[in-house]
Amino acid sequence: MTRQTLVAGNWKMNGTTDSIAELMSGLLSGLDQTGGKQAQVLVFPPTVYLNAVVDQCRNAPLGCGAQDVAVPESGAHTGDVSAAMLADIGCTHVLVGHSERRADHGERSDLVAQKARATLDAGLVPVVCCGETLEDRDAGRTEKVVGEQLDAVISQLDEAALARLIVAYEPVWAIGTGKTASADQAQQVHAFIRNKFASINDTIADRLIILYGGSVKGENAAELFSQPDIDGGLIGGASLTAEQFLPICQAGA
C-alpha cells in the first residue's frame, strides 16, 4: 500500500517569540505555494510556544504536536503538562521516548509506554521514538535495542491502539551529528520494525508510518524517503529555518 509521506520538524529547545513567528510565516507561505504537492507536515515547538503555533496552523497545511507529555491527566504534578491539555489547545501529536528525553531525564521504555497510552487516551497520536547508540550498533545490538524499546510500548497496547501509532527510528549516533544513517542502514531497521508489527497484524504493519530521524537534510531526504519502509522524517536542526525545512517537505511529495 502507499502510505502518505510525513515530515515532522522537532524544534527541541530552540526559538523565541520572534524567531518562531518568522519561521512559521516562512513555512506557511512556502507550503501554500507548493499547492499541496508536499508531504503531510507537522511541527513540534517548545511547550511555551505551542498555543501560538497551534493557532497559526488552523486552516493551514500544517499540524502541530508536543515534544513530551506527562502520564497523569491532571492534579498535583508541578511543571507537567497532560495529554488532555495538549488536546484542549489543539495539538494532534506527541513525541514520546525521544532519545534526548531518555538521556537527559532517564526516561525508560516503561515510562515511554505509559506516555504513549496517555497520549492515545486523550485522542492524540503518539510518535514513538526508538534508536540505538553507536556502542549498540558496533556491538551488533541494533535490532535487540530497538526491538526492546518498541516491545515495551507494543505490549501495553491493543490492536486498535497500535493502529494509531507512528514510529520514529532515530539512531542516537546520527542525531545532530551530521552523520546520517545510509539509506540502506535505515531501510534495514525500518523493515525490521515493520516486520515486528506484521507479526501482530499485517494490516497495521502495512499502514504504519515509520519516520527516519538523524541529520536529515534537503540533500539526503529524497534518497531516504524513497526507501520502501521509510515513510518520511523527524527533522531536528534542519527544521529550524524555512529555507532548510521546505526542501525536505518537498522531497516527500
Catalytic hit among 93, 107, 170, 190: 170
Pick the closest to residue 123 from 85, 67, 151 (CA basis): 85
C-alpha cell at 51: 498555543
Closest approach, Cβ 236 to ligand PGA, in A, equals 2
Catalytic hit among 98, 100, 107, 132: 98
The one-character DSSP state at 82 is B
Distance CA 133, CA 247 (A): 28
Pick between residue 57 and residue 168 the one whose CB is nearest to ligand PGA.
168
Closest approach, Cβ 204 to ligand PGA, in A, equals 24
- In the annotation, is 170 catalytic? yes
Query: Which residue of the chain is nearest ligand PGA when measured via CB?
Result: 236
Pick between residue 103 and residue 253 the one whose CB is nearest to ligand PGA.
103
The CA dihedral of 69, 103, 172, 84, to the nearest 10 degrees, is: 0
Distance CA 75, CA 170 (A): 33
C-alpha cell at 84: 488532555
Pick between residue 53 and residue 234 the one whose CB is nearest to ligand PGA.
234
Closest approach, Cβ 200 to ligand PGA, in A, equals 26
Put residue 130 in one of left, alpha, beta given phi > 0 → left and psi -120 to 50 → alpha.
beta
Pick between residue 162 and residue 234 the one whose CB is nearest to ligand PGA.
234
Pick between residue 56 and residue 215 the one whose CB is nearest to ligand PGA.
215
Closest approach, Cβ 205 to ligand PGA, in A, equals 23
Closest approach, Cβ 106 to ligand PGA, in A, equals 18
Q: Write the DSSP string, 6-48.
A: EEEEE--S---HHHHHHHHHHHHHHHHHTTT-S-EEEEE--GG
What is the rounded end-to-end Cα distance, in angstroms, of the chain?
16
Binding site for ligand PGA (CB under 6 A): 10, 170, 175-176, 213-216, 234-238
Positions marked catalytic:
98, 170
